[in-house]
Structures are given as structure tokens and as C-alpha cells.
């Protein structure tokens, strides 16, 4: 690993400068979430705590994590927001999760369902309106399932979405279930993931015991088909002869969720959002889980090989190697063609709970260096590695989220491998239930910042002038007005897919285009154009008329 960044500038100074603008207490608190990385002896980072009010966070809310992230990509569940219209509207397809229902399949993702709560519902209660909305949705669409998502006011006024769900389930004879995922319920979207995982496990997984066809059956957990990523991965798995029983939840359907417990392996992409389901499927049904990553060509090849190693089948291994061999020449050619423009350039990534780590793979394949990165809402294990789990303090905010007690299913628990087979795999270096965090894999001296604030981002950009800054829509135009291109790693802007080998090529080309564009050096914000550049000048219309 290089030590480029530590010699760049005086990092300690930057940290001090970042802290200077804050009141003492805030500075002290923020400093624990701001780490100069040392992969050799990974330091402890403060994460998954409440955002300091007024700091301008990138974070979203618990409702967003539950409705938008985990359930949003499911096409044939009617996802009904119980709340004011804005909550439903702004969580509706902005993440660009795609789906393919086929010619006959249901797809409700193109509709935005909401109870559209009004003032009088807040005063007199919204349960009647919720029942009417469920009935209306049922009458129009006759779906297999309706999921109800609670927004902040629902929790404040005490509407019982679960009682309504039970009543309507009985009345309509379809699966109806609710989520207590009020926006304020946790410190970020992360709490919403956990709530979503619990309810999908409780109300859907395990409902269908049909044996899926295929020899090598897996579930993919934490892949949401943003910009078509899941399509690319599905294609790779199919060519290898691996059966995908269910994906949580990109390009998925409720019937597939119901059948997920029949798979023989869970591969986990975004562990932050869905490791709870992986753990519960293992406890209740005996399905082991492994971490994979299909972001980056090398990581994709490694992930396919890991799946093949688990099944330990010669023919499967051969097919996996054949697919990798078919894909890699184009990847290598594309990487070689972009490197003259990308090599040595610096990048900063501040996204969600796993992409700020996963996308470092793609940048390193272009010989670009990640000098600063951080998550919005990850936990310490996402930074430091899963081995720190036992030392993570459970605070009142985390305790607020239900922890399901799961026992082995008396009939359906079935070990997928003998203890000897498992031991052999582990002895040969195979890791179950494990992942490295972002920090052990980042360079010494790079900056790792949790829940970065707008002020901190701006200061970092001024100091280091990265070639690309990766974040989301809320940050995009502010950063671009500073003359730095911003790549959205949530929605991919209008691009993608970026997963697998084809996705890697797309990403290389996109980043090459961004770092070679001349436009950024010409960008001037309006206030920079004025002679007295101290602020924006304006004239009252009444004075000029
Ligand atoms: Fe997982 Fe995701 Fe992410 Fe995430 Fe998200 Fe997302 Fe994300 Mo936006 S599930 S943690 S809550 S990889 S929506 S598809 S891009 S913040 S880094």
C-alpha cells in the first residue's frame, strides 16, 4: 500500500481546521468520526450515532431505509406509504431501481401509493383512511400483497398500522403487513433496513416450500438493481449454471422471497442493509452465508470463484473460469485505454453504507487513488471489519429497533454441508459470515470520515481538489459549482449498470469522460464572476422599473 496521502499535506492540520469552525463540544464529538487511516492497526471510529443538529448531513431517514431501499425494488408488492404525500413521492423510483416483470408479470413500481394524510387525519387519526386506501388498491390491482410503511406523523399520533394490516389481511385474503419505520425511529436509514428485514422474515420468507430447480441454488442479498446491476449479475450466474432462487430485493417478486429458505447458500452484496436476513436464514434454516462483491471486475471474478469453491464441483468451477475468461479481455482492454487519463488521479467517496467501500475497487482498477471516504450511516463493523461486532456498544437508539429471536425450524432446518465439509472449507481459508471493513483496505494516511457534513466536504475539496467526488443528489450541484465533477453513486446519475465485468467497463468510460472534460476548469459560480466576489449582488426589481 502506498502512503501518498499522508505525505500530501499535513493531515493533522486539516483535521484541526475542520474542527476550528465548530463549537468545542461539537468539535470533540466530530473528531471521533474523523480518522486518519492506518490499515495495520485499524483505529476505532465513531459511527451509527445521532447526527449533530445543524451540521447538514447526507443522511436519509428510517422510512427511506425501509420503504425506499429494501422493499422499494419489489415489483409485485403494493408498497403503500401511510403519511403525507411528500414521503411517498420522494421515495418513488429516485434511486433508479429497475425490474423486469416479463410480459405477464405485475409491476406496481411505476405507481406511487400513498394515503396522502391531511391535517384532519393528524387530528382525528388516519386508520380509516389507511383501510380505505388498502381496499382501493386491492379493488384496482388485486395484488398478492400490500405493505404499509409508517411515516413520522403515524408514530406521533399512534395509528396502529399492524392492527389495520391484520384486519385487512383477514378481510381480503391476501398478505398485508405493516412496518413501524417512522422516519425518526432510528438515527438514519440503517434502522429502516433492520425493520424491513425483520418484517420480510416474519411475514414472507418461508411461505413456499417448493423445491427450486437447479443444482447450485443461491440467494443474492443486498443487491437492489440500481441502473440494471442485477441484470448483469443474473446473466453471469446463469452462464455459470448457478440458480438464483431469490434476490433481496432487486428485480424480485414476493413469490421468490417466500421460497428463499430453499436455497443452499446466501451471498451477501451489501451487508449493511441486509445482514440481518442472512443471519436469520442461517439460524432458522441452516443456510450459510458468505460476503461477495460484484462491483469491480477483479472482485466479480473472485466472487464467482468463491461461490464455485463453496459448491466444490469440477464442472461448475470450469464454467466459472470460462465465463471469467470470456469477460476479462474486454475489461483489460478498457482499463488500459482509460489509464492514461485516469492513473494517479484522486477521488473521494462519501456514500451510504457499502458503496463508499465497494467502488474503491473500480477506482483502483483505473489506478486512481481514494484519498478520503466515508459512509453516511454504516456501523463500526462496516469500517473496521466484522470482528469488532462484539465490542460495539448497543445504545438506546439501536435498542429501539426490535431484534427478532430466531430458533432453528423444527422441520425445515437442514445443514447444507456436513461439519467436515465446512471445516475443510474454513481450513483452506474460506470465510463464512465475515467481511473486512473499509479501513483495512484503504491506504495509510487516507481519511475516513463517518456521516460527513457539508462544511467538511467543502473544506476537503478546497484542500485536495479531487478529480472526482462521489456522493448523491443533495451534494451534486454544490460540489460541481466548486469546479469538481460529482458522480452520483446512489442513482448512478443516468448511467449504469456498473456491476460485473460489463459494468466495470461502463464505469471506467464514465469516469474517464468526467476527468478529461475541460468544462470543470471553466465553471464559475455566479458569485465568483462578480468583481467584488464577496457575495451575490442583486437589484430590487422595483428600483430598476
Ligand atoms: Fe447498501 Fe445500497 Fe449502499 Fe444502502 Fe442506500 Fe443505495 Fe447507498 Mo443510496 S442498500 S448501503 S441504503 S449499497 S440507497 S443501493 S446507494 S445510500 S451505499
Looking at residue 451, what is its pLDDT?
Answer: 98
Instruction: Give 353's contacts (C-beta < 8 A, 6+ positions apart).
Output: 189, 190, 270, 272, 273, 375, 376, 377, 378, 382
- Is the CB of residue 445 below 6 angstroms from any atom belonging to ligand 1? no
Residue 6 has pLDDT above 50, yes or no: no
The C-alpha atoms of residue 364 and residue 294 are separated, in whole angstroms, by 15
Active site residue 358: no
- pLDDT average, residue stretch 388-417: 96
Stretch among 3-12, 284-293, 502-511 having the lowest mean pLDDT? 3-12
The C-alpha atoms of residue 510 and residue 505 are separated, in whole angstroms, by 9
Looking at residue 101, what is its pLDDT?
Answer: 97
- The proportion of the chain whose per-residue pLDDT surpasses 90, expressed as a percent, equals 90
The C-alpha atoms of residue 353 and residue 257 are separated, in whole angstroms, by 23
The C-alpha atoms of residue 38 and residue 44 are separated, in whole angstroms, by 10
Residue 534 has pLDDT above 80, yes or no: no
Question: Angle 81-86-91 (CA atoms, 0-180°, nearest 5)?
Answer: 65
Looking at residue 17, what is its pLDDT?
Answer: 82
Give the global pTM: 0.95
User: Read out DSSP for 76-124?
Assistant: TEEEEEES-HHHHHHTSSTT-B----TTT----TTS-EE----HHHHHH
- Is the CB of residue 250 below 6 angstroms from any atom belonging to ligand 1? no
Omega prior to 497 cis, within 30 of 0: yes
Of 543 and 70, more confident: 70
Give the confidence band of 538 by pLDDT, cuts at 50, 70, 90: low
The C-alpha atoms of residue 251 and residue 436 are separated, in whole angstroms, by 27
pLDDT in tens, 331-340: 999 999 999 9
Q: How far is the centre of ligand 1, averaged over its atoms, from the C-alpha of 477 (Å)? A: 20
Candidates 191, 230, 273: which one to mutate for ligand 1, based on the most atoms within 8 Å of Cβ? 273
DSSP, collapsed to helix, strand or coil, labels residue 373 as strand
DSSP, collapsed to helix, strand or coil, labels residue 53 as coil
Candidates 69, 70, 274, 292: which one to mutate for ligand 1, based on the most atoms within 8 Å of Cβ? 69
Candidates 349, 352, 473: which one to mutate for ligand 1, based on the most atoms within 8 Å of Cβ? 352
Grid coordinates of 208: 413456499
Active site residue 95: yes
Nearest CA to ligand 1 atom 5: 352
Active site residue 133: no
Nearest CA to ligand 1 atom 16: 352
Q: How far is the centre of ligand 1, averaged over its atoms, from the C-alpha of 394 (Å)? A: 23
Give the confidence band of 543 by pLDDT, cuts at 50, 70, 90: very low
- Is the CB of residue 471 below 6 angstroms from any atom belonging to ligand 1? no
pLDDT in tens, 502-533: 999 999 999 999 999 999 988 887 767 766 65
- Is the CB of residue 275 below 6 angstroms from any atom belonging to ligand 1? no
- pLDDT average, residue stretch 103-126: 97
The C-alpha atoms of residue 319 and residue 42 are separated, in whole angstroms, by 38
Residue 7 has pLDDT above 60, yes or no: no
Ligand 1 atom closest to residue 224's alpha carbon, by position in its atom list: 14
Number of CB atoms found within 10 A of residue 402's CB: 12
Stretch among 32-41, 134-143, 237-246, 401-410 having the lowest mean pLDDT? 32-41
Residue 2 has pLDDT above 50, yes or no: no
Nearest CA to ligand 1 atom 10: 353
Active site residue 263: no
What mean pLDDT is reported for the chain? 94
Amino acid at each position: 500500500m502506498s502512503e501518498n496521502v499522508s505525505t500530501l499535506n499535513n493531515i493533522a492540520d486539516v483535521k484541526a481546521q475542520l474542527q476550528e469552525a465548530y463549537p468545542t463540544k461539537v468539535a470533540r464529538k466530530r473528531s471521533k468520526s474523523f480518522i486518519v487511516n492506518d490499515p495495520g492497526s485499524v483505529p476505532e471510529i465513531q459511527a451509527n450515532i445521532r447526527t449533530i443538529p445543524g451540521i447538514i448531513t447526507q443522511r436519509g431517514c428510517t422510512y427511506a431505509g425501509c420503504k425506499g431501499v429494501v422493499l422499494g425494488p419489489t415489483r409485485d408488492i403494493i408498497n403503500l406509504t401511510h403519511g403525507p404525500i411528500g414521503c411517498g413521492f420522494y421515495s418513488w423510483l429516485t434511486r433508479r431501481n429497475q425490474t423486469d416483470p416479463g410480459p405477464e408479470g405485475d409491476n406496481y413500481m411505476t405507481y406511487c401509493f400513498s394515503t396522502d394524510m391531511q391535517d384532519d387525519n393528524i387530528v382525528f387519526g388516519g386508520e380509516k383512511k389507511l383501510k380505505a386506501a388498502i381496499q382501493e388498491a386491492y379493488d384496482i390491482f388485486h395484488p398478492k400483497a400490500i405493505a404499509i410503511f409508517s411515516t413520522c406523523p403515524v408514530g406521533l399520533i399512534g395509528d396502529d398500522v399492524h392492527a389495520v394490516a391484520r384486519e385487512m389481511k383477514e378481510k381480503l385474503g391476501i398478505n398485508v403487513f405493516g412496518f413501524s419505520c417512522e422516519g425518526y425511529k432510528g438515527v438514519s436509514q440503517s434502522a429502516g433496513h433492520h425493520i424491513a428485514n425483520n418484517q420480510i422474515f416474519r411475514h414472507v420468507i418461508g411461505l413456499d416450500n417448493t423445491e427450486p430447480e437447479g443444482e447450485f441454488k443461491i440467494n443474492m442479498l443486498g443487491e437492489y438493481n440500481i441502473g440494471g446491476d442485477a441484470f448483469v449479475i443474473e446473466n453471469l450466474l446463469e452462464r455459470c449454471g448457478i440458480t438464483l432462487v431469490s434476490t433481496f430485493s432487486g428485480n424480485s417478486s414476493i413469490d421468490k422471497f417466500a421460497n428463499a429458505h430453499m436455497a443452499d447458500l446466501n451471498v451477501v452484496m451489501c451487508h449493511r442493509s441486509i445482514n440481518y436476513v442472512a443471519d436469520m436464514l442461517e439460524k432458522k434454516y441452516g443456510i450459510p452465508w458468505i460476503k461477495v462483491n460484484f462491483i469491480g471486475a477483479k472482485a466479480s471474478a473472485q466472487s464467482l470463484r468463491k461461490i464455485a469453491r463453496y459448491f466444490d464441483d469440477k464442472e461448475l468451477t470450469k464454467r466459472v473460469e470460462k465465463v471469467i475468461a470470456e469477460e476479462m479481455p474486454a475489461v483489460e482492454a478498457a482499463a488500459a485505454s482509460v489509464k492514461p487519463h485516469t492513473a494517479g488521479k484522486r477521488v473521494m467517496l462519501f456514500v451510504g453504507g457499502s458503496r463508499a467501500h465497494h467502488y474503491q475497487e473500480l477506482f483502483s482498477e483505473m489506478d486512481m487513488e481514494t484519498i478520503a471516504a466515508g459512509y453516511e450511516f454504516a456501523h463500526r463493523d462496516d469500517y473496521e471489519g466484522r470482528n469488532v461486532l462484539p465490542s460495539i456498544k448497543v445504545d438506546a437508539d439501536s435498542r429501539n429497533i426490535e431484534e427478532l429471536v430466531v430458533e432453528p425450524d423444527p422441520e425445515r432446518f437442514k445443514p447444507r454441508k456436513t461439519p467436515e465439509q465446512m471445516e475443510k472449507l474454513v481450513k483452506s481459508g474460506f470465510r463464512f459470515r465475515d467481511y473486512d471493513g473499509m479501513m483495512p483496505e484503504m491506504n495509510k494516511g487516507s481519511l475516513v470520515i463517518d456521516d460527513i457534513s457539508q462544511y467538511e466536504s467543502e473544506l476537503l475539496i478546497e484542500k485536495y481538489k479531487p478529480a472526482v467526488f462521489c456522493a448523491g443528489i443533495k451534494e451534486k450541484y454544490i460540489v460541481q459549482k466548486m469546479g469538481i465533477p460529482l458522480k452520483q453513486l446512489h442513482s448512478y446519475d443516468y448511467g449504469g449498470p456498473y456491476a460485473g465485468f460489463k459494468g466495470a467497463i461502463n464505469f471506467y468510460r464514465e469516469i474517464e469522460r468526467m476527468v478529461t472534460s475541460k468544462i470543470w476548469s471553466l465553471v464559475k459560480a455566479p458569485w465568483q464572476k462578480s468583481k467584488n466576489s464577496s457575495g451575490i449582488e442583486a437589484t430590487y426589481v422595483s428600483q430598476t422599473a
